[in-house]
Structure 1
Amino acid sequence: MARKFLISRIALAVALSSGVAVTVAPAPAVAQKKAKAGAFSNEFAAAAADLDKTVAEASSNPAVKAASDKAAAAQDAAAKQAAAAEVDAALGGADAKLAAAMAVASTPMDKIKLGELTRNIGVLKADPAQQHKGLVMMLESGAAQPDSLGQLQWLAGVTAYQSGDYQAAVKYLKPAYDAGYRDQQGMIDRVLADAYKRTNNSGAALQMAQQEIERAKAAGTTPSDAALRTALQAAYDAKQMAPAVDLSAQLVQYHPGPQSWSTAFQVTRALARLDAQENLDLMRLMDRTNSLASKGDYIGYIQDADPRRLPGETLRVIDKGIAAGKITAADVREARSMAQGRVSADRSSLASYEKDARASSNFATINGAADALLSYEQPAKAEELYKLALPKAGPAEKDRVLTRLGIAQADQGKFSEAERTFAQVSGNRTPVAKLWTAYVKSKTSPSAAAAPTSAAAPSS
């Protein structure tokens, strides 16, 4: 699968561009107070007061704003460096003033104000590394109020992430996340999970997201789309098929929609080793969820259905793919010709297939007729024959019969019965049955559906 970034860089940029609100007294208000615990030192107040005022007024300074906008728009290192120098000049030599203030900072209040100034100048320069440095200074000052720690840790983590220091990102994001801090954009779990991934610790990301999912279930609420996708991404990265399929099923159950189904199918086909008949029943679910989205999807379905075996279903899929503009007549000329040459005789023989099956004790005869009826969208008759075939099925055929019995029941709206049938499927067809189960559950529990999803499929 093509690489798709888990975290929106635009959303991160928004998080990084705003000032940080921390419960501390501003330097100018106490600049003349005698140094003591909880106050600024006289030396620091003298060194930092002018810079603090300049930074506080930056938003109304046209020269600073123009230079800052240029820094935000810069695309290469040279342009960023030049724009940062313009910001520094527009602030009246901020770097030199910061250095002077740093040299005399001694009290906790000095250090948190110095960190605040460093961070906010970094915002003006669009420099995540400088922002991170300032935020760490604030955290280490000992002067931040407890109700500000989560925000500071989040911002320190996300600036480390933006700077490519993923170990540091985990260092600051994890305590914020564990303490219950959640940013307004709802990104902390995704940023932390991706930082785990980039430090080769997908297991931690999976555990984190699974815990959030279980907390939601225990509270009687729907697990969030973000938590499910974060966990699914981690399971996919770790190539853990069983949890990945379970999470795919939960994603489509709780958040049904084309994008969720597309993600679930991508993951299942990538991790499960399905043969043609197993994949056919997965493609049938893609068809029923309107998830056939590409030329490859339609061609794969046509090949698995096989115009020699299921000409009616093959023609239906061909017509649907052409109508959707996903395939052309030229793409399927041979398959269409083969199916058209067989479909009339095949369809006219359905009644005799069914009659022979009901009179037979032979598994292949009964099951073959059931398959034909299912392919011609006669699920009620197919269900009856699959039930006759099931006791005669050997170990190799039982799971296939159960899968298609469940499909026939689902096609009739017998969702509870279908769910019970799919629960009996084992072996290599388990991933297919789990997604069909999620489909029928989404039909019987519409309250589980949430808002439409927008996140990308797991990236490789």
Structure 2
Amino acid sequence: MLKFSTLAMAALLATSASGLMIAAPATAQKNKKDDKPGFKLSKPVVAVAAPAQTAIRAASTSAIAAQQATDPAAKQTAIATAQQNIATAEPLVGQVEAAATTDDDKYVAAALRYDFENLKLAVAQAVNPKAPIDETVLAKPLDALIASASTPQADKAKYIYRRGILAFNGGQYPVAIQYLTQAKQAGYTDPNLDPLIIKAKLQGGNPTEGLADLNATLKAQEAAGQKPTEEYYRYAIAKSNQQKNVALTVDLLQRYIAAYPTPKNWREVLFTYGLQKDSAAQLDQNQRLDAFRLMRQTNALADQYDYEEYGNLAYTRGLPTEAQSVVKAGLASGKIPASSSVSKQLVADSATAIRNEGALSSSETKAKASKDGKVAAQTADAYLGDGNNAKAIELYNLALTKGGVTTDEVNLHLGIAQARSGDKAGAMASFDKVTGQPRAAIAGFWKVALNSKSVG
């Protein structure tokens, strides 16, 4: 939606001034009594403008035929005809410019020059579609058409818009914003107009305002029930992250994954949020573990790195059962090769740690007798790692009751245990209680997963 390349031939021809009607001198004299109010051209201009326009129109017809031709021979014939007509028109256009004295003369001269230069670009593109297009030759006639009092008001917005595109393609983003905004105010309508203004701002005209406009556009589409494209979301996320607007990046990531909740997208969203270099948030080891847990729940673990990184985080956190479980799952799925020395070591180390662990029941007894909830929270984390969600929920609630714990972390883990056990309402309530960043964002992603039924 936000990709704009140089204009194709059809667009070049469509923005021409070829609607201008210039009668030949003999015809003009014959129909003098029937003339309607319009341009009053001097005789020298009329004498050369009409044949110039005839040649330009003939070349335009040939250029379009060249574009549409599927037979190489027919295409070459059309191009040759267009080039002959260009050669005929070129001196005539120059003569019109030289003879122009009145405002109407100068308007017609600018209109013909604009058509002629558009045509040359179109034919050049037909000859070599991959060659770069130098549109700067259009600036002078466009400026003249925009400034001329003789330019029909219905055409001015079109020329202003085209001037904005010219500035945009030339990287002159503040100038592009000026012209494109004027075109919009003049009533010009085009599906690319608003996206062009936004992109011009984001490219350097006013990045902060451009991002706000882009987000507003997305929200308007969402509110109207029109799901924005993935490309549009991704573009907004990239620009927001580039501007280090963490709050907006998180919001966009959550809206995007709510609209397109595929496993592949879940992985990309969570990596963009906090699992890669230059991510929106910097997560510590425990928070990274919670993000990887969500990747597992949304079937988003994709490769050897994902499984082994998750397993290593769990093992380092003192959760050998969870570490062993995820690594074995990666091996069973074939995403971790059987030859992986890292996985073999993780499985062996986890097995040793599991054998050396004391029974969690003894920790549970200590937790209930403790004056605060720290032991309860630690024991609950162990149960969560073991996959015993019921016990984890019980002890997380005990930890919250006793106090002395990091409330956001306990509520986040309580919500995860509830989500895994199928208690959506309970999980949503626990996630809602997580207020400090970055855990609040992680809780938000879990909520999106629950609402989109991504958790499996």
2:323 aligned to which of 288, 300, 314 = 314
Structure 1 residues 357 and 38, CA gap change in structure 2 (3 angstroms): farther
Structure 1 residues 199 and 61, CA gap change in structure 2 (3 angstroms): closer
2:414 aligned to which of 394, 405, 410 = 405
Higher relative contact order (CA 8 A, sep 6+): 1
Provide the rounded CA distance (Å) in 1 between the counterparts of 2:271 and 2:445. 12
The unaligned stretches of length 5 or more in structure 1 are 1-5, 71-83, 445-460
TM-score (norm 1): 0.73
What is the CA distance between 1:113 and its match in structure 2?
A: 4.9
Provide the rounded CA distance (Å) in 2 between the counterparts of 1:101 and 1:334. 84
Q: Which residue of 2 aligns with 1:118?
A: 117
Tell me the alpha carbon deviations over residues 391-442 of structure 1, each in whole angstroms, 9 at most, x when there is no partner.
Answer: 23436x1111011111122223333332222221122322222222222232
8 Å contact 1:293–1:326 — kept in the other structure?
no
1:442 aligned to which of 439, 442, 452 = 452
Alignment of 1:48-127 (within 5 A): 48-61=53-66, 91-92=86-87, 99-100=94-95, 102-103=97-98, 107=104, 108=107, 111-126=110-125, 127=133
What is the CA distance between 1:140 and its match in structure 2?
A: 5.5
1:329 aligned to which of 340, 350, 356 = 340
Name the stretch that deviates more: 152-161 or 249-258: 152-161
Structure 1 residues 156 and 25, CA gap change in structure 2 (3 angstroms): closer
- Counterpart residue type for residue 399 of structure 1: D
Q: Which residue of 2 aligns with 1:349?
A: 359
8 Å contact 2:118–2:138 — kept in the other structure?
yes
- Counterpart residue type for residue 381 of structure 1: K
8 Å contact 2:56–2:89 — kept in the other structure?
yes
Tell me the alpha carbon deviations over residues 15-40 of structure 1, each in whole angstroms, 9 at most, x when there is no partner.
Answer: 66545535966457745547986458
Identity %: 25
What is the CA distance between 1:138 and its match in structure 2?
A: 6.0
What is the CA distance between 1:249 and its match in structure 2?
A: 1.5
- Counterpart residue type for residue 87 of structure 2: G
Name the stretch that deviates more: 319-328 or 84-93: 84-93
1:377 equivalent to 2:387? Answer yes
SS of the residue 2:400 aligns to: helix
Q: Which residue of 2 aligns with 1:21?
A: 14
What is the CA distance between 1:267 and its match in structure 2?
A: 3.4
Name the stretch that deviates more: 370-379 or 105-114: 105-114
Please identify the structure whose Cα radius of gyration is greater. Answer: 2
Structure 1 residues 44 and 14, CA gap change in structure 2 (3 angstroms): closer
8 Å contact 1:116–1:138 — kept in the other structure?
no
TM-score (norm 2): 0.74
Q: Which residue of 1 aligns with 2:208?
A: 203
8 Å contact 2:158–2:188 — kept in the other structure?
no
Structure 1 residues 292 and 193, CA gap change in structure 2 (3 angstroms): farther
SS of the residue 2:244 aligns to: coil
Provide the rounded CA distance (Å) in 2 between the counterparts of 1:92 and 1:213. 49
Tell me the alpha carbon deviations over residues 83-136 of structure 1, each in whole angstroms, 9 at most, x when there is no partner.
Answer: x99985784376656545554566345544542442243233241525854766
8 Å contact 2:366–2:375 — kept in the other structure?
yes
Q: Which residue of 2 aligns with 1:129?
A: 135
Name the stretch that deviates more: 91-100 or 52-61: 91-100
Q: Which residue of 1 aligns with 2:129?
A: none
Structure 1 residues 335 and 273, CA gap change in structure 2 (3 angstroms): same
Provide the rounded CA distance (Å) in 2 between the counterparts of 1:176 and 1:259. 41
Name the stretch that deviates more: 263-272 or 127-136: 127-136
CA RMSD after TM alignment: 4.3
Q: Which residue of 2 aligns with 1:291?
A: 300
Provide the rounded CA distance (Å) in 1 between the counterparts of 2:330 and 2:159. 52
1:252 equivalent to 2:257? Answer yes
2:433 aligned to which of 421, 424, 433 = 424
SS of the residue 2:452 aligns to: helix
Structure 1 residues 367 and 129, CA gap change in structure 2 (3 angstroms): same
